[in-house]
Structure 1
Amino acid sequence: MGDGALSVWEKSSTARVVPSARPRKLAKVPFVELADGRLQGVVSSGSDIGRVYVSSVAAGSYAYACSTNNNRPCGGARGSFCNHIRALIGEAVLQYGAERVARYLKVDVEGVADAHVLTSAMTAARPGAGDGSAAAQVFSRFLRHLAYLELEPSTGPLPEMQWFPTTRAVAA
């Protein structure tokens, strides 16, 4: 494309996405990301369809946090990873692959094969509870992602995405 012509994906409002390492079931963990030095995401409640938990694990220290979407602490995250955090780790491994998750979280294990091995290595380090201060930000990002699902496919620009760099020269 050295002649200045833009490819089809450069002209659209969508970007290429790296496919999941393996297919995920979004009902239990609809949102998972490696961002801000943490594995973080949103996990559905097993007992209440209207409740979700915002869970995270910090890279390196493995400090963890888990609370509901309205900032009530998770009853299972006292002294160890709760089931929400374990589900988040499992889905992150499906989404990104065990090696990438281990590398991001700075888990020193050889031959990481699955989420169980990764979780065991982190809990063996006896992590403490984190402050959970990022829960509102993570939940807000999740809600923004849900809003994009409601949009009709379009090649027109999205105003909130205009900060992305462009390959075209801008006339001053």
Structure 2
Amino acid sequence: MESRSVLRVVPPVRPRKLAKVPFVELAGGRLRGVVSSGSDPARVYVSAIAAGTHGFSCSTNNNRPCGGLGATLCNHLRTLVDEAVLQYGLDRVARYLRVEVAEGQALTAALRGHREAADAAGVFSSFLRHLTYLELPATTEPLPELAWFPSGAVPIIDGTGR
């Protein structure tokens, strides 16, 4: 019997709109991701909300501020939150952001943050790195660049998602 090391990816709670939000993650103490512009198909926004403080930021990948960002969440941030809930589930996202959501309340309504600067370049870099893995051909060979996984197992990409 052949032995393989494969990391299972937790499937989304419900299907997401990848064209609108191609990248969403809970990492670095933030809900962060890349959101497509509603007005310009060539523009994307890097949006983030900090866990605990709920400080939020939104700018283009070259650090131009979002025009809709003010004292409250812009549409890019609202879309990011909605897609994160689809990907990870309301309970997990709320727990990560350390916010209590009342029965029937939207997660965005429970956030009481403020505008703050964030590292858009780092998030966009993670997104671009994520895209490179999608371009890899299917293989049963280990991927050395993924050897940092805590289990010590080196994941393989076998084309089946398993």
The share of aligned pairs that are identical, in percent, is 61
Report whether the alignment pairs 1:131 with 2:120.
Answer: no
- The offset of 1:16, in angstroms, is 0.8
Q: 1:44 aligns with which of 18, 33, 36?
A: 36
Matches within 5 A, 1:1-150: 7-8=3-4, 10=5, 14-111=6-103, 117-122=106-111, 125=112, 127-132=113-118, 134-150=119-135
Q: How many residues align?
A: 152
Q: Please list the CA deviations of residues 114-162 of structure 1 after superposition, one character each: whole Å capped at 9, or x if unmatched.
A: xx6110111xx2x211112x21111001001111111111111223112
* 3-state secondary structure, aligned to 1:48: coil
Q: Which runs of 4+ in 1 moved over 2 A?
A: 5-8, 162-167
Residue identity matched to 2:152: T
Give CA deviations for 1:46-99 in whole Å, capped at 9, x if unaligned. 111111000000111110000001110001111110000000000000000001
**Structure 2: how far apart are the matches of 1:62 and 1:76?**
18
Higher relative contact order (CA 8 A, sep 6+): 2
Q: Which amino acid aligns with 2:126?
A: R
TM-score, normalised by the number of residues in structure 1 = 0.82
SS of residue matched to 2:102: coil
**More deviation, 155-164/70-79:** 155-164
Aligned to 1:156: 141
The residue type equivalent to 1:120 in the other structure is A
Say what the alpha-carbon RMSD is for the aligned residues.
1.7
Structure 1 unaligned residues grouped into runs of 5+? 168-172
TM-score using structure 2 length:
0.87
**Which has the higher Rg, Structure 1 or Structure 2?**
1
Cα separation, 2, equivalents of 1:7 and 1:22: 32
Cα gap change, 1:156 to 1:72, in 2 (>3 Å): same
Once residues 72 and 28 of structure 2 are traced to their aligned partners in structure 1, the CA distance between those partners, rounded to angstroms, is 22
Deviations along 1:19-69, one digit per CA (max 9) or x if unpaired, are 101111100000000111110000001111111000000111110000001
Unaligned ranges ≥5, structure 2 = 154-162
